[in-house]
Each structure stands twice: as structure tokens, then as C-alpha cells.
Amino acid sequence: MASSPNSRFCFLVHPRTLDDVFAFFKIPKAFTRPFLRSDFLDRILSRLPLQRVGVVLERRSNKGRGRSIVIGTIDALPFTVRYLTSLRYRSQALSRIQRTIDQLASQGVGVVGLGALLTSVTQLGKTIHPPKRCRIATGRLLTTYNMVRLLENSFEKLVGEAPTPFPLAIIGAGGSIGSGSAIFLAARGWRKFFLVDLPEKRSVLEEVATIMHEHNPEVDVTIVHDTAAAVQQSVGILTATSRPDAVIREEDVLPGTLIIDDAQPSDVDPSLCWREDVAVLAGGAMYAPHIVVEGATTLFGLASHHIFSCMAETYLFTKFPGTARRFQPARLPRWVTPDLIASVGALAEKVNILPGIPHNPSRIYTDEDWQNMRRALLSRQNRFQGMSVCGGK
């Protein structure tokens, strides 16, 4: 196994793209090329052992050199997105995940974090039966908190206030992150929403809308199944689906649109990351200057001093064992409350883990970029009655 007994936590990931496959498992590209369009590569990979792709250290002093200690590892399961999302291999994947967690616990790992699609595949960690003295972190609470705070911080930069009357689209609103974000935003005073998901999830979306109304009677919720239509009518977009391909197309996004993307792999057409009149932010990235990831930072496309929010939640569970017990998957309600989300966010800030600086794998946004966004947003002002875009930071 890849993790050592000295590790306090292990954050489990999997290859999101073929580039990750090559980087994580050192497989020659020439060997895999003939099999890229079949499940042969998936089946071969699934037989490989757990692979360590990073070591996580914590700086114990911000003054001078200080000292760093190993607090965890990042290990990759050999599952492609195609393998994890295939019903054909679902039982094999779940069995392997359970065996891996059992073995990690036997080696002294106290908290196991689930990255990327591992949380959704395990039904928010509820299909996992963790051994005694081992906790599971899904990232559900802290990722929701981070996405909402990134959205609000960005609108404060653009228009000087948050919440705003601008319409928001929640793509994947029937999932854990999407529904949690919608409920949290409603409780914080946001009003206009498009909840977007598959037609078979309509009853779930209706339930989410009802909970939103309970927290904020003034919300205006529209349930839609046409992603393009919702994107075209929205200024802010939060997206967190389990789709293996992009669901937000470049041609559907109007100037002045802010997108917070938490999906792994991304829900967003890569060309949008370079558009001057659109901002695409990594919704799962949090600023943690005292945490150093050796070996994996560049692989994951994060800015310097940033870690994934799901890994940050894993770290929090090692710092606050009582919180870890309280927020185990089996104990969490189906619909997490705004108070639960805010409480985990407050713990993160207590240990200096904050919403990330605005960036995506292609760029870090500058003051000039925000000015370009502000001009693009101003050009859409007449679409929103009663809104005055002023006082931007």
C-alpha cells in the first residue's frame, strides 16, 4: 500500500483525464493509444495497486524557516472517470474502495478523504463502512461553503455587494454540492435561481426548492432541464455535476458571466477559461499557505499555496476529531443545513484555510481581468430591472 503508518490522513483521488493516467501511473502513451476508445484500458488500470502521487506537509511556524511535518498523503486509485461512471464496473469499484480504506486504517491512517468522483460513487460516503478509529471526509460541507464564498467575494469585487438581484444557475442542483449551495445561498439572501439537472431528478429539485423557500420566502426558483437555456439567462453559475464531459458550452455563455466550477473533470468548455469577458473560477480550491503538497500540486492545476476543499476538510477532521465524528456521512442529514455548512467554514478559517484566490487551471485573475468583467457586466445591466452596477472594488 502507498500510505505509511505515520500518515495522519490519506486523501484518495483518481485520474480525471488521460494525462492524469500517464502522470500518476507512469504508463507509456504509446501503449495506451490503441485502447483509448475502449474499456480495455479501464480494466487494465483497475488491476494496478494504489499509487502515491503526493505527500502533504504542514508548516508549524510562519516565521523564519519553521519546520514542516508530514501530516498525510495523496494516493491515487487506478480508476478512470469512464470506469467509475459505468454501472458495469460499479460493484468492483465500490469493493476496491472499501478494501483500500480498510487497509489504510490498519496502517494507522485516521482520516480518509474522498476526492473527485469518489464521493458521488459512494453515495456521499454512505456505502462505506469505515473501521473503528477511522473517519471519512467527503468534502461535501467545506466545498459548498467555499463555492458560495467564492461567488460572493467575486460579486463584491464586481459590483460592490453580495447578494445581488442577478439570476444564478445551479448546474447539478440535485446533487449534494449543488443542492447544498442552493440552500446556503437562499439562506444568505440570494433570490433568483435556476435549478438545473436531469429530468429524472425533478422531484429532488422540487424538494430542494421547498427547503430554499423555508430559509428565504422571497426566493424565485425555476426548475429547468435545459442547461444551455439556464446558462444564457444567468449571470452567476455554480456547477458541480458528475458528468465526464463539459456541460457548459462556450457558445452559450454571455459576456459578464461568472462561473464557479467544482466538477472533476471540469463541467466547463476549456476555451471559456481564456475569455476576457467571462470568469471561470476553480470552485474546489482553497488558500492554505501553511500546507505544502509535494508532488501533486502542478498535476491538479491549482495555484500556489492552494489545496482542494475536499482535502482541506480531510485535514480539518484530523485537527478537530470531535467535528469528524459529528460530520460522518452516516450522521449527516440528507439536506445539510446552512448552519452546518457555516460551522465547517468557520473551522477552516480558524486554521487559516480560506476561499481561494480567483483562478482556474489556465490563469490567475488580475485586477485588469476584473475590470474587463465589470465592463462586460455593465453591458448586460439593462437586462436586470432595478439593478445598479456601481461601487465595484
In a domain, 388, yes or no: no
What is the rounded distance in angstroms from the CA atom of residue 294 to the CA atom of residue 98?
26
Asked if 103 and 60 sit in the same domain, the reply is yes
In the predicted structure, residue 17 carries a pLDDT above the cut 70: yes
In a domain, 4, yes or no: no
In a domain, 79, yes or no: yes
Task: Report the length, in residues, of the chain.
Answer: 393
Asked if 40 and 164 sit in the same domain, the reply is no
What pLDDT is attached to residue 46?
A: 86
Nearest C-alpha neighbor of 316 from the set 6, 90, 83, 11: 11
Asked if 372 and 302 sit in the same domain, the reply is no
> Diameter of the chain by CA atoms?
61
Asked if 63 and 164 sit in the same domain, the reply is no
pLDDT tens per residue across span 259-316: 999 988 789 999 999 999 999 999 999 999 999 998 765 557 788 899 999 999 999 9
CA-based torsion, 156, 161, 167, 168: positive or negative: positive
What pLDDT is attached to residue 1?
A: 47
In the predicted structure, residue 182 carries a pLDDT above the cut 90: yes
What pLDDT is attached to residue 25?
A: 81
What pLDDT is attached to residue 383?
A: 57
The CATH number that applies at residue 265 is: 3.40.50.720
Helix, strand, coil percentages, rounded to 5, for the chain: 40, 20, 40
Q: What are the helix (H) ranges across the chain?
A: 18-25, 29-32, 40-45, 81-84, 90-106, 118-121, 140-159, 176-187, 202-215, 227-232, 297-300, 309-319, 321-326, 338-350, 367-378
Per-residue pLDDT, averaged over 177-199, amounts to: 97
**Bridge partners of residue 194, in order along the sequence:** 169, 222
Identify the domain containing residue 334 by its residue range: 9-139+287-354
Q: How confident is the model at residue 390 (pLDDT cuts 50, 70, 90)?
A: very low
Domain count within the chain: 2
Per-residue pLDDT, averaged over 330-353, amounts to: 95
In a domain, 261, yes or no: yes
In a domain, 123, yes or no: yes
Asked if 294 and 280 sit in the same domain, the reply is no
In a domain, 183, yes or no: yes
Stated pTM of the model:
0.91
Task: Give the H/E segment covering residue 195.
Answer: strand 192-196
Which amino acid, residue 180?
G
- Answer whether 150's CB lies under 8 Å from 173's CB: no
Asked if 19 and 78 sit in the same domain, the reply is yes
Asked if 189 and 170 sit in the same domain, the reply is yes
